[in-house]
Amino acid sequence: MRAIRQDTHGSPEVLKEVELPRPEPGLSEILIAVRAAGVNPTDWWNRAQPMTANGLPLILGWDVSGVVEAVGIGVTLFKPGDEVFGMLPYPHGVGSHAEYVTGPARAFVHKPTGIGHVQAGALPLAALTAYQALVDTADIQPGQRVLVHAAAGGVGHLAVQIAKSRGAYVIGTASAAKHDFLRSLGVDEAIDYQAVDFTEAVKDIDVVLDPISRDTAARARSLAVLRPGGTLVSILPFPIDAAELADIAARGIRFESLLVEADRAGMQAIADLVETGALRAHIEATFPLAEAAKAHALGETGRTTGKIVLTVEGAGKA
Ligand SMILES: NC(=O)c1ccc[n+]([C@@H]2O[C@H](COP(=O)([O-])OP(=O)(O)OC[C@H]3O[C@@H](n4cnc5c(N)ncnc54)[C@H](OP(=O)(O)O)[C@@H]3O)[C@@H](O)[C@H]2O)c1
C-alpha cells in the first residue's frame, strides 16, 4: 500500500510517499481501505517535532473515512464492505494517511449514507473535540451563552453548529472576512478579534471553548468574560500551575483542559447530527494523498476556514 511516512522531523518536505505491506487487523480491530482523512494541527505539530505521537518513522493521521476491508477476531459490529468513519485512538493509534489502516472497531461508526467520504473524513477529530468539550465536559444547556474562539477553524466551525443544535446562544471570534461564514453556521454574534477587544464586547458567558490561549495572560482574558459558575474548556492542554488553578476556582469558575479521545458514543452523536442536517464540515481544500506536504503547508498558515482533507482513490467529491 502507499503511505505518507516521515523518517525525520521537520518541514512538510519530510513527508514522503512510500510502499509498505498492507497491515492485518488484530484482535477486535478492523482493516479500513481509507478513502479520505482529515489533516489537523496535531499532524503538522507532530511532523515538525516529537510531540504526542509515536517515534520515527511515523505515518500521521487520526481521521478516517473508508470501507471495511477485513475484520479481526472478535469484531461483531462491522462486515467487509461497510462504510465507516471515526478517529483512531489519540495519540498512539495514528496512521491514517495511507491507503489502509487498522484500528479498534469500537472507535468507528457507520458513515451516514447522505454524505461522502471527504465530508466524513473531515469530521472525526475536530467534531469529537468540539462535542467532548461542549457536551460531555461543559454540558451546555438551551439558552446558555457560549463563546467559541477561532470559530472559523476546524474545531470552531463544528463547535458553533453543535452549540446551536443544543439551543445555545453562540458568539464566535474570527477575522472580519469570515463573519459571513460564521453567520452561515448560525452564530448569534460574530466578533472581529483583530479590531475589537472581545473582553469589552461580551460578558456573562456560561461556557468558553478556547483553542487559542497559551498562557496565563491569555487565559485571564477568557476568564474575564465568564460569569461565576461558568466553565472554561481549553483544548490547548499546556501545563497550568496550581496558583492559577486556585485563583480560577476561587472565582467560582470551572476550568477543564481537554485532550480528544477516541469515542464511539461521540461518533454516533456526530453521525446523528449529520443525518439531521445540523452538522456539516466546511472543506477548505482537498489534496490527493501524495500531496500531503501541500496540505500541511496550507494548514500551517493558521488561516484556513474549516477543514483540509487528504483523498485516496474512490473518495468521491467534496
Ligand atoms: N486538545 C485537543 O484534543 C485538540 C483537538 C483539536 C484541536 N486542538 C487545537 O486547537 C487549535 C485549533 O484547532 P483547529 O483544527 O480548529 O485549527 P485551524 O483549523 O488551523 O484554525 C484556523 C483558524 O483559527 C483562527 N484563528 C487563529 N488565531 C485566532 C485568534 N487569535 N482568534 C480567533 N481566531 C483565530 C483563524 O481565523 P482567522 O483567519 O480569522 O484568524 C482560522 O480560521 C489548535 O491549536 C489545535 O492543536 C486541540
d(CA 318, CA 285): 9
5: pLDDT strictly greater than 90: yes
Nearest CA to ligand 1 atom 20: 302
Ligand 1 site-directed mutation target among 303, 305, 308, most atoms within 8 Å of CB: 303
Walk me through the domains of the chain, giving residue ranges and CATH numbers: 2-123+281-311 (3.90.180.10), 126-257 (3.40.50.720)
316: pLDDT strictly greater than 90: no
d(CA 291, CA 298): 11
Per-residue pLDDT averaged across 132-154, rounded?
98
226-235 per-position pLDDT tens digit: 999 999 999 9
Pocket of ligand 1 (CB under 6 A): 40-42, 126, 129, 149-150, 152-156, 173-175, 178, 193, 211-212, 235-237, 258-260, 299, 302-305
Phi-psi region of 302 (alpha: psi -120 to 50; beta: other; left: phi over 0): left
CA atoms within 13 Å, Cβ hemisphere of 176: 3
Q: What share of the chain is helix, strand, coil (3-state, %, to 5)?
A: 30, 30, 40
283-297 per-position pLDDT tens digit: 999 999 999 999 999
Give which of 97, 153, 149 is closest to 299, Cα–Cα.
153
φ and ψ of 119, to 5 deg: -60, -45
Q: How far apart are the first and last CA of the chain?
A: 24
d(CA 155, CA 125): 8
What are the CA-CA distances from residue 92 to residues 88, 103, 150, 225, 295 (Å)?
8, 11, 27, 36, 22
Ligand 1 site-directed mutation target among 51, 94, 183, 304, most atoms within 8 Å of CB: 304
With the C-alpha atoms ordered 66, 69, 72, 74, is the resulting torsion angle positive or negative? positive
36-92 per-position pLDDT tens digit: 999 999 999 999 999 999 899 999 999 999 999 999 999 999 999 999 999 999 999
Q: Taking the complete model, does pTM exceed 0.85, yes or no?
A: yes
Kindly give the number of the ligand 1 atom that is closest to the alpha carbon of 174. 40
318: pLDDT strictly greater than 70: no
Burial of 188 (0-12, 13-18, 19+ CB in 10 A): middle
Burial of 317 (0-12, 13-18, 19+ CB in 10 A): exposed
H/E stretch holding 217: helix 216-224
Q: Report DSSP state, residue 134.
A: I
CB 289 within 8 A of CB 66: no
259-268 per-position pLDDT tens digit: 999 999 999 9
Residue 54 is predicted with a pLDDT of 83
CB 187 within 8 A of CB 163: no
d(CA 310, CA 69): 19
Query: Could you tell me where the beta strands, DSSP code E, fall in 54-121?
Result: 58-59, 63-71, 83-87, 100-104, 108-110
Q: What is the whole-number distance in angstroms between the Cα of residue 211 and the centre of ligand 1?
A: 6
